[in-house]
Structure 1
Amino acid sequence: MATHTPIRRALISLSDKEGLEPLARALAAHGAELVSTGGTAKAMRDMGLEVKDVADLTGFPEMMDGRVKTLHPKVHGGILARRDKEEHLGAMDAHDIGPIDMVVINLYPFEKTVASGADRETIIENIDIGGPAMVRSAAKNHASVAVVTDPADYDAVIGELSGHGGLTQEFRTMLAHKAYALTASYDAAISSWFAFADLGQAYPETRSIAMTKADELRYGENPHQKAALYIPQAVRPGLAGAEQVQGKALSYNNLNDADAAYELIAEFRDGPPACVIVKHANPCGVAQADDLLTAWTDALQCDSVSAFGGIVAVNRPLDEATARAITDIFTEVVVAPDADDAAKAVFAKKKNLRLLLTGDLPDPARPGQMFKPIAGGLLIQDRDNGMISKDDLKVVTKRQPSEQELKDCLFAWTVAKHVKSNAIVYAKDGATAGIGAGQMNRRDSARIAAIKAREAAETHGFDDPRTIGSAVASDAFFPFADGLISAAEAGATAVIQPGGSIRDAEVIAAADEAGLAMVFTGMRHFRH
């Protein structure tokens, strides 16, 4: 049977005092002497509790604007002393050091201070020194000392005291783990602030990353793989914080694909109603229209076969008509800024379909960094926030593109940015006509996209594939003319690509011969 060690003295020092009263009262009720500092001591006295100041314990007053108050042998000796070593117990007797059995700490609010826009001096003063030192000391000596750093654990502590009069070794070990995770993440936040904000280093020599587990997932890429979702300590808007209104628990693949759809739909957040359909992290249909239902219909017509079991994202709150249309086919996840009650009622009839409401869409031009593990390391790069406009395009062919061709070029280019390389995207009238993704050469991507367009025409009864009269985007330059010729054979009349190949002249000549209009962006969008 587990042994519950009583708490005879507890040192409490809190920046955030929420939940303090029931915990302090429970400790006092079970015979613990309460020791505290400054504002925390006053708060407990105002509750009618008897509290001993740390200054009375150490014989030294708080000094240097509170920078020095708990950094003293009578504090750390009381925390660190091993109760099973005669030498430690003898040192305590010799120096009049009383044992401290529990430390309840939360740290200066460094990240909140930074987020508030405070000046540098204020930020520096909110780097806690004594708190982390006590937390680490107590966690090291968890065999005898309980360290409580998370207010979410207060009720469990009170329950253990009320039910058993003390805490078990297992419980103290769990608290110690959380304590070291806290100090690690705290130091990571401080280190990141110094590197990024104070010194302006995008890629410092040492990088510390602190994350908090948000959820354990159903499984990873495959059912035999375990997986979990972690989010940064400083919560930012995004898919990870979306409200799941209904549906089964999300898997790794669900979230990975939903994120691909979310990032792509964000490209259209300020434009007309738009819909994105994603399968295996690649878009298989994208469209803009005057209303959401038409956008969904146009996106679906690009590749309705691949859309089965896919992920749908929209840039407007979902309405009932669009919800009904989406639920006509099997869909895994739907992502939207919001949904009206009628739309929610439609989705509720599909109990397994996950509906995620994000509240907003991010700025596609926002800065940030992307992480990718490799064997023995981690690749970090700036996120691809490259944006272009009509003014950035360079016409390189004899024929100038029409205004509609330019619009379709830019639309296709935006979608191609989110398609796995090698990527070819045909688009016409604000909708994708065919998408070729992830092939080892660009010509095959162009051919696959054309094949899908022909199949879509047959499925939906079009007279011609929608690649006829379309614009085609290539995420990188055409190294040879064959890929461009394949696009022309599919019916494309305009081409958008980065340019920069040693064979650009050959490719431009082929475009001129085919009567194509072609523009260069000067920017590549590889997506591996």
Structure 2
Amino acid sequence: MTDRYALISVSDKTDIEKVAEALIQSGLTLLSTGGTLKALEEANIPVLAVETVTEFPEMMDGRVKTLHPKIHGGLLGVRKNEEHKKAMSDHGIVPIDVVVVNLYPFKETIQHPNTSLLDAIENIDIGGPSMLRSAAKNYQSVTVVTDPRDYPLLIEQLTNNNETTLQFRQYLAKKVFQLTAYYDSLIAEYLTQQFDNIEAEKSNDWPHITLTYEHSQSLRYGENSHQAADFYTKLDAPEYSLANAVQLHGKELSYNNIKDANAALQIIGEFPEPCAVAVKHLNPCGVAIGSTIEQAFNHCFEADPISIFGGIVVLNRPVTLALAEKLHDIFLEIVIAPSFEEDAFQLLAKKKNIRLMTVHFSEKDNRPEMEYASVSGGLLVQNVDCSSELTNPSEWETMTELVPTEKEKQALSFGMRVCKHVKSNAIVISNEYRTLGIGSGQMNRVGAAKIALEQAKNATKDMKDSLLIMASDAFFPMDDTVKLAHEYGVSSIIQPAGSLKDKDSIAACNELGMSMVKTGIRHFKH
């Protein structure tokens, strides 16, 4: 034996024999545990069991094997510190200069649909992260490798110099702490989900959150061409999400594509009936329902045949050939649907760049989610805006003398479900099956109303007896929006209410023969 040691303990044994041979060639004696020890012995590679050093047996089904002072002393001892060197000598601790360790497959275990809590617990690695952290802390003297992708450079440096560079060790140490932070956050999120029914004293709640995302893809650029961007996804992302969408055709998604597609999915999730949604710059330019998906798309296109150009279309029913023929005639960035009939797909795929994607609409996950928005130096966290009042008119309060008709109630429900997803200040003009005008992101409510009402005026000029309702994401601060709506033929209004001047808007509706209902819930979207 020499006075230089390397410890190998890996669950992923990719190329481990090559690494072991390079370590031996550089003058290191190998220590190993369990399955790795067996694999190296079977490959006729000289290796010692860890208990040769610890003089303590592996026990408790492998739970305890490297958690020992002779292991961690060999990793943590500062080589140039005389007191450390004396302590190591006095206690028979040998220096371990290289650690090659990767962790129990906790992530892979919890991804299996039949995994029990007990299985998951047994795949929480304790000794591995402990060794990695000890070795990384002492990167001045210890080389610690956990990612097989770093093996070639390790082998190259050992082959050429019998040791590694400080710069390489610093890189590896940083990577270790990134890995252990990620690994622990996976465990924390999993156990939070498993134990979420346990009552705890709110005063003792831990004031920190752990968020775990994995790199999904590098994007060509961000919002603009000079900005770099990447897409990260959650391990347990709902099936009904862009994170689990399958791209069947077309060029890679861009940053803006992802944001727009996500917005479209959120909108269409409000509608169980055949529905088509067109989105441009995070706002809907057309939303419609129908008895068939073809009819829904026709209505959606009619809502704004100009803005849909270069937009994103989401459909909650399979794309038929008849529908594909209509989509093929429009320049679209993305089409998302549960599926595409084969002939429909072949037609749309003739366009090289259009992205065709599928999402599991039938498996929509209704678990409560949190929303996160980054700000400089911080993170905003809130519950997703989920509420039932938009589809349940019995929860509304009629504020006016006139009560909405059943048809108007259908239109009010439709309009408000769209308005909920329009950037504030938001006004939506619709009938019972499609949007007619959308005013979004304005600094005042009457300004948003003017935009929406003008669009509706143009959209209905060839429609006979068209019903017009107005949906507002927040209350009317004065009655000017009501009066303007009446000028354009709006018969009923839905709004959260709560303004000090509600009575003025109610009085205006009563005077003008309009109905108004109160939902009591605001839907600002910034």
What TM-score do you get using the length of structure 1 for normalisation?
A: 0.85
Displacement of 1:246 after TM fit?
A: 2.8
1:57-456 equivalence runs, <5 A: 57-63=53-59, 66-81=62-77, 92=88, 95-107=92-104, 109=106, 112=109, 127-150=124-147, 153=149, 156=152, 160=156, 169=165, 172-192=169-189, 197=195, 204-237=206-239, 238-268=241-271, 271-360=272-361, 363=364, 365-388=366-389, 389-390=391-392, 391-456=394-459
Distance in 2 (CA, whole Å) between partners of 1:48 and 1:235 is 44
Instruction: Report what 2:500 is aligned to.
Output: 502
Distance in 1 (CA, whole Å) between partners of 2:65 and 2:347 is 60
Distance in 1 (CA, whole Å) between partners of 2:155 and 2:21 is 14
Distance in 2 (CA, whole Å) between partners of 1:216 and 1:143 is 33
Instruction: Report what 1:477 is aligned to.
Output: 475
Displacement of 1:131 after TM fit?
A: 1.7
Distance in 1 (CA, whole Å) between partners of 2:267 and 2:505 is 29
Q: Is residue 23 of structure 1 aligned with residue 16 of structure 2? A: yes
Displacement of 1:27 after TM fit?
A: 1.8
Displacement of 1:286 after TM fit?
A: 0.3
SS in 2 for 1:419: coil
Instruction: Report what 1:524 is aligned to.
Output: 522
**Residue deviations 1:310-366 (CA, integer Å, cap 9, x gap):** 111111222233233223222222222322332332232222222232234674753
Distance in 1 (CA, whole Å) between partners of 2:279 and 2:298 is 14
Displacement of 1:124 after TM fit?
A: 6.1
1:52 maps to a residue whose letter is L
SS in 1 for 2:442: coil
CA RMSD across the alignment: 3.5
**Given that residues 426 and 435 in structure 1 are in contact (C-alpha distance below 8 angstroms), is that contact kept between their aligned partners in structure 2?**
yes
Displacement of 1:141 after TM fit?
A: 3.5
SS in 2 for 1:373: strand
Displacement of 1:163 after TM fit?
A: 8.0
2:469 maps to a residue whose letter is A
Of 427-436 and 90-99, deviating more is: 90-99
Distance in 1 (CA, whole Å) between partners of 2:321 and 2:164 is 54
Of 353-362 and 502-511, deviating more is: 353-362
SS in 2 for 1:406: helix
**Residue deviations 1:234-290 (CA, integer Å, cap 9, x gap):** 44432123223333332221211111111111222xx22211111110001001112
**Given that residues 109 and 123 in structure 2 are in contact (C-alpha distance below 8 angstroms), is that contact kept between their aligned partners in structure 1?**
no
**Given that residues 6 and 96 in structure 2 are in contact (C-alpha distance below 8 angstroms), is that contact kept between their aligned partners in structure 1?**
no
**Residue deviations 1:364-411 (CA, integer Å, cap 9, x gap):** 753111112223322111111122232322233333322222111111
SS in 2 for 1:106: coil
Instruction: Report what 1:3 is aligned to.
Output: none
Displacement of 1:8 after TM fit?
A: 7.2
Of 355-364 and 322-331, deviating more is: 355-364
Displacement of 1:62 after TM fit?
A: 3.2
**Residue deviations 1:422-442 (CA, integer Å, cap 9, x gap):** 111122231111111111222
**Given that residues 475 and 526 in structure 1 are in contact (C-alpha distance below 8 angstroms), is that contact kept between their aligned partners in structure 2?**
yes
What TM-score do you get using the length of structure 2 for normalisation?
A: 0.85
SS in 2 for 1:101: strand
Distance in 1 (CA, whole Å) between partners of 2:370 and 2:108 is 19
2:181 maps to a residue whose letter is A
1:252 maps to a residue whose letter is Y
Distance in 1 (CA, whole Å) between partners of 2:344 and 2:160 is 51
* Alignment CA distance shift 1:138-1:65 (3 Å): same
* Alignment CA distance shift 1:204-1:342 (3 Å): farther
SS in 2 for 1:307: coil
**Given that residues 74 and 97 in structure 1 are in contact (C-alpha distance below 8 angstroms), is that contact kept between their aligned partners in structure 2?**
yes
Q: 1:489 aligns with which of 466, 487, 490?
A: 487
**Residue deviations 1:26-45 (CA, integer Å, cap 9, x gap):** 52476365433345445555
SS in 1 for 2:306: helix
**Given that residues 22 and 155 in structure 2 are in contact (C-alpha distance below 8 angstroms), is that contact kept between their aligned partners in structure 1?**
no
Q: Is residue 12 of structure 1 aligned with residue 8 of structure 2? A: yes
Distance in 2 (CA, whole Å) between partners of 1:113 and 1:328 is 45
